Chain A
Amino acid sequence: MSLTPDEVRHIALLARLGLTDDDVARFSGQLSNILEYFEELRQVDVEGVPPTAYPLDLHNVMRADEPEPSSDAEDVLKNAPQREGEFFRVRAILEE
């Protein structure tokens, strides 16, 4: 199993991760190496075995729906890289 540089670029796009050409070359080698190691899983027979998502057998845990105070908006906005009044400021997301 090996990952071509184009495949690495495609995955980076899915993950919205900027990579340099050097990164692409290095990850192509390293990730191929790791995926090759994962090939050993092919020999495991999992016919009829259900998947495990969580170790606990808990489903749809509910708590009482009671109103509680939220975090202070000003505290939250203190972390904003860019703000405008009571809002987070972002770049336009619709392109012309």
Chain B
Amino acid sequence: MPDDLFRLTVHEAASLLRQRQVSSVELTKAAFERIGVVEGKINAFITLTEDRALAQAARADEMIAAGRGTALTGIPAAIKDVISTKGVRTTAGSKILEPFVPVYDANVITLLDEAGFVMVGKTNQDEFAMGSSGENSAYGATHNPWALDRVPGGSSAGSAAAVSSGMSYYALGTDTGGSVRQPAALSGVVGLKPTYGRVSRFGLIAFGSSLDQIGPFGRSVRDVATVFQAIAGPDQRDSTSAPVEVPDFAPSMGEDIKGVRVGVPREYFVEGMDSDVRESVLAAIRQLESLGANVDTEVRLPSTGHAVSVYYIIAPSEASANLARFDGVKYGFSYQVGSSMWENMERTRQFGFGEEVKRRIMLGTYALSAGYYDAYYLKAQKVRTLIRREFDEAFKDHDVLVAPVAPTPAFKIGEKTDDPLQMYLNDVCTIPVSIAGLPAISVPCGFATAPDGARLPIGLQIIARPFDEAMLFRVAHAYEQATSWHNEFPPL
């Protein structure tokens, strides 16, 4: 049995499980040992579920012994706390859900359960998935495993940090405007945002319903593809789940990329971009070219510059409606000593929601209010159409588009919290893809050196046509195999 079990990929761990060189109980104990060593520095989890995990692992070992094991059976995972888990507290990173215990599992959890699921815990996140740094959590900020004084990215901060630091083999996060891709990039792991409609949202606590998608984190492209294979597909409990067949993704990995048409949209190389990020992404593009891809650097997506406005009108509008349900009556934190029902409701929301959530509820309520609807919400929806059309046009002659994930590597905790607009502008490279509902993956493509000497991961974003995740895995895997970035572990 290898010494550092926590460093294994899902693929490697599954192979050891199959050969009976290790048991799921041993893998799970190794994960908790690692959690004991590093979680105090990182704060990736809101709730740890060790007893439950060991019971699940014992069940998984039985499945494997009975020959019923699959690629994910018995492999410890971490789940973002915005995904409902029956009988396990689910807070969405908010004080308003501090005591909430779901009465049903999200569809993704049901699917993983069938595959022999082991959950080490529920991960920390920006409250209701609103944020790009992990700092907007009622349970304290998550720290970047590569530089503990920096953010791991957000909103799926804990999921990215848990995988990056070896506390879980894979994790689920959610991506509304970049919340899987950006923390994957800043924490040095692989992260997938599936096509909108590909993964059921049943049991996902809603933020922006026309944008939200659940997506996996892993330490290799193959691992991410394996998890995605298990959670993708139509679900009759989500009316926006697409009735589209899910192909077998295994053949995509190992296929060469000769002749694949790669477009580079120049609008994504924004002003103020970090020079190490620019150089690493350009080097990755040259790498793709040397692997036989046809690279076109003349792609134009002229409406990209409007995406931040469109997103920060549409997502808060949807959020203001979705978060109306938190009224202190049926579950969660409840203020009860006011003078009236209305005062109790207003105080429940005042004390239950954090600063960023309040800001977005206010923004969305304003954008939808009488007299402003046409100027903000309707206008944003029309520009959304323009952004989609430009992608459609670009995908007529290209198989994938490649771009940075974020304009800078991980920033310091506290550096951007005073200026919400600056924080929003940081999402410029991931938001357009979300608006168009496209699939995209973030893969490690290098490191930046910070002025204080910290070595900070950089991510390459690969974007494909709707429902063509197979192409993402093909290109990302070919790139990964030709480079060694994904093998690096943070010096914890």
- The chain A residues found within 8 Å of chain B, CB to CB, are 3, 8, 11-12, 14-19, 23, 27, 30-31, 33-35, 37-38, 40-41, 44, 46, 49-56, 58, 61, 63, 71-72, 75-76, 78-82, 88, 90-93, 95
Contact = CB atoms under 8 A, between A and B. Distances in A.
Chain B interface extent, by class: 35 or more
Contacts of A58: 197, 239-240, 242-243
A16 B239 contact: no
Contact of B345 (A16, A30, A49): A16
Given A56-B240, A93-B341, A95-B340, A40 B332 contact: no
Interface string B329-351: 11111101000111111110111
B320 to A, nearest CB: 6
Contact of A52 (B327, B366, B388, B421): B388
Contact of B346 (A18, A41, A75, A90): A18
Nearest to B330: A88
Instruction: Please report whether the interface of chain B is mostly helix, strand, loop or mixed according to DSSP.
Output: helix
A76 to B, nearest CB: 5
Interface stretch (B18-26, B224-232, B372-380): B372-380
Contact of A40 (B309, B346, B349, B362): B309
28 contacts: A3-B366, A11-B362, A11-B366, A14-B365, A14-B369, A15-B362, A16-B342, A17-B349, A18-B343, A18-B350, A27-B358, A31-B362, A33-B421, A34-B424, A37-B308, A38-B309, A41-B380, A44-B306, A44-B379, A51-B381, A52-B388, A54-B196, A79-B100, A79-B330, A81-B329, A88-B329, A91-B336, A95-B340
Contacts of A23: 358
A72 B313 CA distance: 38
Contacts of B343: 18
A52 B381 contact: yes
Given A41-B379, A44-B303, A46-B382, A31 B210 contact: no
Interface of B: 99-101, 103-104, 196-197, 210, 236, 239-240, 242-243, 303, 305-306, 308-310, 312-313, 320, 324, 327-334, 336, 340-347, 349-351, 353, 358-359, 361-363, 365-366, 369, 376, 378-386, 388, 420-421, 424, 436-438, 466
Contact of A17 (B103, B243, B358): B358
Given A11-B365, A56-B242, A51 B347 contact: no
Given A16-B346, A75-B103, A80 B384 contact: no
Q: Which 8 A-B pairs have the closest CB atoms?
A: A55-B437, A18-B350, A51-B381, A81-B334, A79-B331, A18-B346, A46-B382, A91-B341
Given A11-B366, A34-B420, A79 B346 contact: no
Nearest to B241: A61
